[in-house]
Structure 1
Amino acid sequence: MALHAKAKAEAGYRFYAVYDKIYREDVLAHAYAQCRSNTSAPGVDRQDFAEVETWETYRPDLIRRVLILKSNGKLRPLGTSTLRDRSGKLL
């Protein structure tokens, strides 16, 4: 994906208008297919794809936030979302 390549190539670059890249149905469908195909483990809520796909509405869950110690002594925040939210599928 071009955004990923740009972010890796220029660490200081800031993306200000990303919403238009992620709300499109084709982008969401692709993200869902990628998550579905990699047989990832359930999220922090312990729900798998079979359960998530039975739902009729979507409401994002809370993100579990932890701080990871970097080699330079600083802390980096890491957010772990639920499988349903990682999939990008709006049920």
Structure 2
Amino acid sequence: MSAGTASSTRREEGVARLDGRPLDKVRALQWTLYRCAKQDPERRFHALYGHVSRRDVLWRAWSGVCANRGAPGVDGVTVDAVAAAGVEEFLRDLSQQLRARTYRPSPLRQVMIPKPGRPGEFRRLSIPTVADRVVMTAAKLVLEPVFEADFLPVSYGFRPKRSAIHACESVRVEA
């Protein structure tokens, strides 16, 4: 999440804005969740599941999954196959399953891949289905802003726009 101030976000003519730039609905949702969590660290969020099933959130999640491509899961369905069959219908069905609470994740496809630089050694790779990747990404889009609000600025692991390089640079600057 951006570290802008709450006052820099405003609504004009029904469009959420951050620093004068219009936000799309998913980004506006994320900013709202972040701001609420930041303003009240003790706040409990009760209605997050409903946001995961929103079509715009699922579309954003699909975009991320589509960009990463990846191997097919246990069902053998690829990103290209979903695109060919119709993304709109795929996401509509997924949204309906989530709203009806009938969605169930599929088992993971297990693949053994060789460890680099270690001949004869392998590690297990678990591959989710495309549908599961979309749902996991949608959940991440909704949950991440809530948790980001509580993380310390000195935390770098597995966070957006932060890496080991950023952590090393922070140590170098502080030393």
- Structure with a larger share of its residues in helix: 2
Q: Name the structure, 1 or 2, with higher relative contact order (CA <8 Å, separation 6+).
A: 1
TM-score (norm: length of structure 1)? 0.49
- Based on CA coordinates, which of the two structures has the bigger radius of gyration? 2
